[in-house]
Each structure stands twice: as structure tokens, then as C-alpha cells.
Structure 1
Amino acid sequence: MFAKERRLEILSMLMNKKKVRVRELSDLFNVSEVIIRKDLKLLEEEGKLERTHGGAILRKEIPEDISLTTRMISNVEGKNRIVEKLYKLIERGEIIFLDSSSTNLMLAQKLAQFPKEVTIATNMLDIMKTLENVPGITLIGIGGTYHSLLGTFLGGIALDSVLGINSQKLFLGGAGIDIQRGNLSIFDSDEVQLKKAMIKMASKVYFVCEGEKFSHYGIYNFATLEDIDGLVTDMEMEPQITAKLEEHEIEII
């Protein structure tokens, strides 16, 4: 993982847990504590956190959109390649779940520019704003308790809404994928149940996976390789990864 991506994940963890420990981050990212301290120092200089003894806490006045903003500027070229592949997967008349992810937001922007006659169901507010009043697109907003740092609706109401929608396809985001253990994971525990519900209600599940997500993982598992039908990525697969995916009959796109 590049230093830039590692720092984005540290911010994501802070937004969920409110505090992090140097030793915990060192173990999670498999880098030295010296490197982690440098990351925290840089993020503090950028005004995004406050360092404490042995760790860091989230600044109270941190902008609410920082999580999405930082994700949107990370690996833009790779995300664009994935968006083109996702766009081609969408067929006329389908109902598509888009969960909360920066790549799915970029896909929504593509659909706003080049619409298809489809129904989009999403719990991400920025996707709703992007697709409102776009000709040919029927928009289903999945409501619930709004999490401003995530820019998404979660909770029991959102869960009930998802369980009432039959979808042809789900484009699923996540923090990482552990090929050996067969787990997909995220950093925010509040998203786990909603992702599981979307997986249950979709006929086909495509995991949206940038190359660096093969080298690191989140904290909470929300799915296994058995749950996904396809993996959409921006990189060439290593032979051992390809073999593992093919073992589970997962299409590589």
C-alpha cells in the first residue's frame, strides 16, 4: 500500500473509532511504528487529527465531507478504469444497488452524463443528488439514520428498505479483500448489516476492488468469496489470486 492510501485508511478508522493507537496501526498495515508516527504527524499538520500519547484522536472540527473527499482523490485513474467496466455491466431495465463508495459515486456521475434506462437504489446521499432528474433513470433513495461523516443512510429503516427491493446487480465497495481467508472487510461496523442485506437481495454481486485492496484489510468482515459473482478491478491479477477466484467461480472483470 502507498503511504497516501495508508493515511486515508487511518482517517477512515478515526472516523469510525474516534481514536487509534500507533501499535495497532503498525500491526494492521505491517509497517514500523516510526512510519505510523510520521503518518500521524503529517495528518496533524494537515489539521485532520490530534496526536496523543501512543496514538491519535479525530479533531472535533474536522470537515464532515473529508472521508468522501479523500477517497475521491485517491487513485483516480484506477477508479476511472473500473467505472468504465461497471458502466458496461449495466443493462437496460435493470435494478442496480449502488452502496456507499467513491467509485460508485463516480459511476453515478458517468450515468448522469450518459444515462441508461435503469433503476438505481442507493443509500449514499451524493449519488442521490447526482442522479436526481436524470432522464431515463428511476432513483430509489434508501433512507434511514444519516451518518454525515460517511455521507450515507444506515440503521434499521435503511435495512428494511433494502430487504424490500429485488435487484439484478449490486456494485459493492469495501476496504479490502483477504484472498487466503476469503473475506471482504470494511472499517465501519455500522455498514456491515446493510451490505449483507444488499448481497442477499441482489441476483449478482460484483465487488469493486482497486488493486491496493488486495494488500490490506478492514476491521469488520461483511462477506466471503462465496457471496460474490464477479470482481471488477483496475489491475492484472497475480496467478495465485486468479486461481483462488476461479476456484470460487468468480468472474474477473
Structure 2
Amino acid sequence: MNFPNRKRLILQTVDERGSIEVKELADLLQTSEITVRRDLGILANDGLIYRTHGGAMKVSLANNPVQFVNKTAVNAENKDHICRLAAQDIQEGDTIFMDCGSTVFRLCQFIRNKRIQVITNSLPVVNELLQSEVTINLVGGEVDAKRQAVHGLIAHEHVARYRANKAFLGVDGVSAQNGLTAHSETEAGMTLAMAGQADSVYLLCDSTKLEQDRYFQFAPLRLVQVLITDPKADPKVLEMYRKQGILVRN
């Protein structure tokens, strides 16, 4: 495949998925990783993509603070696995909450063609879904520039006005003993607000966060009905969660 055709496929894939790893592109293009890295360097120099460690990212995402870009790119393959499973449970006509977590953000690429309503406090989610079939309801309130998200009292009041079929949420840590934990009360508050207004609560959490306790403990594990994680999760840990009544998928 010549460079113009590889360029077209690379840009199309990055646009659809938000980000992609070199190995995935090499498999898609049926070429070597060395060739892919060279192509990505050319496209990055032209300002068409943002070069990440191990892959590439959509320029519009890279314009967000570095912290969010880095979090989105970490464990990308596992996060995409989680989000593919989550998308299978989203039906046409659903109303869903999506918080500002980096894993939850990667759900966007799998729901773009669904006629659903998304209520979110995440600015990257809004940006990613603007040109899609999804109807967007952006939570109002104070913008946290670091998180690229809306938080605060008014944001909680906004969420309280709506009901959703499902809430797709992320946390900084989860454990069988201490439940859900976060790095700050701000993030925990929005998680609780969305969970309280949803018929079903889905926790999208890669295996690195399982049995990890963070600064602020804010809810028991029973707040969640479904935990979706990746294949690397310890089966013994997952069994502990199942014994607490959680539906676990990986």
C-alpha cells in the first residue's frame, strides 16, 4: 500500500477512534511498525495528528490539557475492550450518563451511530459526539480546566433534573472492602449525582484500578450494578465482587 492510501486510512481511523497504537495500525495497514512510525511522524509534522508514546491521537483531543491526553492514551487497548462490552448494553432510544473519566471517554467511538441521549459533564465527550447521531445534554456549572469537565453545586442540580436508563462511570480506585474511592471530593460528587439518577450503574474500570484505595472513600461497592473490566483482571478479585452481588464482565 502506498503512502497516500496509508495516510487516508490512518487519518480515518484516528478520527473515528480518537487514538490508536502503532501495532494496531501496522496490523490494519498490513505493513511494518517502522513504516507506521515514519508515517505518523510525517502526519504529526503536518499537524494532522498528535503523536503519542506508542501511537497517535486526534488533534482536537491533544488540544486539551496534557493530563487528560495522557490518561486517555494509557492502557488504550484495555479501555477499548471495556467500552466495546459497555456499548453492547446501550440500546436505541436510551438516555445515558457519561462522566469525565478517561475510560468512559473512549466509549464515544462505539456509540456514535446510536440514536441515544447522552448527559455528560465531560467537554471531550461533547466534542467527540458533536457530529454524530447522539443527542447531547451538557451539564452546566463551573469548568475544571485540568479535568476538562463541569463540576460544582449547579452541575449536581442539573443532573438531579434528569433520569437515565444507565450511568457509565469511572473511579480512581475500587476494592471489595472499601468500595469506591477518588482522588478528590469533586469527582466523587459527580459520580454520586449521576448514579443516583440512573436505573443501572455501570463502572468502567481497567484492571490496574482494582483493589486500589485512593484518598477519598465515597461509596460502597453496592452503588454499582455492573462492573466492566479487562481480561487482565485477577479472577479471584472478580469473584469477590460477584459475591457482593455485582455483575462482572471482562
Taking structure 1 as the reference length, the TM-score comes to: 0.70
Paired amino acid for 1:191: E
2:117 corresponds to = 119
Q: Deviations over 1:66-123 (max 9, x none)?
A: 22111012111101111111111111111110001112211113323xx111111000
SS in structure 2 at match of 1:231: strand
Matches of 2:184 and 2:122, distance apart in 1: 15
Moved over 3 A (4+): 236-240
Structure 2 match to 1:221: 217
State the alpha-carbon separation in 1 of the partners of residues 189 and 167 from structure 2: 15
Matched ranges for 1:207-218 at <5 A: 207-218=203-214
Structure 2 Cα separation of the partners of residues 242 and 188 of structure 1: 25
Structure 2 equivalent of residue 153 of structure 1: 150
Give 1:174-189 correspondences, 5 Å limit: 174-179=171-176, 181-189=177-185
**CA distance in 2 between partners of 1:129 and 1:242 (Å):** 34
Amino acid aligned to 1:101: G
Residue of structure 1 equivalent to 2:98:
98
Which residue pairs with 2:139 in the alignment?
142
Instruction: Give aligned pairs, total.
Output: 187
Structure 1 letter corresponding to 2:154 = I
Counterpart code for 2:92: R
**Partner Cα separation in structure 1 for residue 239 and residue 74 of structure 2:** 28
Q: What CA distance in whole angstroms lies between the structure 1 residues aligned with 2:107 and 2:185?
A: 25
CA distance in 2, matches of 1:205, 1:101: 14
Q: Does the 8 Å CA contact 2:178/2:217 hold for their aligned counterparts?
A: no
**Alpha-carbon distance between aligned partners in 2 of 1:160 and 1:206, rounded to the nearest angstrom:** 21
Whichever residue aligns with residue 156 of structure 1, its letter is: L
The one-letter amino acid of 1:131's match is: L
The unaligned stretches of length 5 or more in structure 1 are: 1-62
TM-score by length of 2: 0.71
Q: Distance in 2 between matches of 1:144 and 1:134?
A: 24
Could you say which residue in structure 1 is the equivalent of 2:130? 132
Name the Cα RMSD after superposition.
1.6
Other-structure match for 2:190: 194
How far is the alpha carbon of 1:164 from its aligned partner?
A: 0.7
Deviation at 1:178, TM superposition (A): 1.5
* Identical residues among aligned pairs (%): 25
Which residue type is aligned with residue 185 of structure 2?
A: S
> Shift of residue 215 of structure 1?
4.3
Find the aligned partners of 1:243 and 1:131 in 2 and give their Cα distance.
Answer: 35
Shift of 1:210: 0.4
1:222 shift after superposition: 2.6
- The answer to whether the 8 Å contact 1:97/1:121 transfers is yes
- Supply the distance in 2 between the matched residues of 1:232 and 1:243 (Cα, whole angstroms): 13
Cα contact 1:195–1:222 (8 A) shared by 2: no
> Relative to structure 1, is the Cα distance of residues 211 and 237 closer, same or farther in structure 2, using a 3 angstrom cutoff?
closer
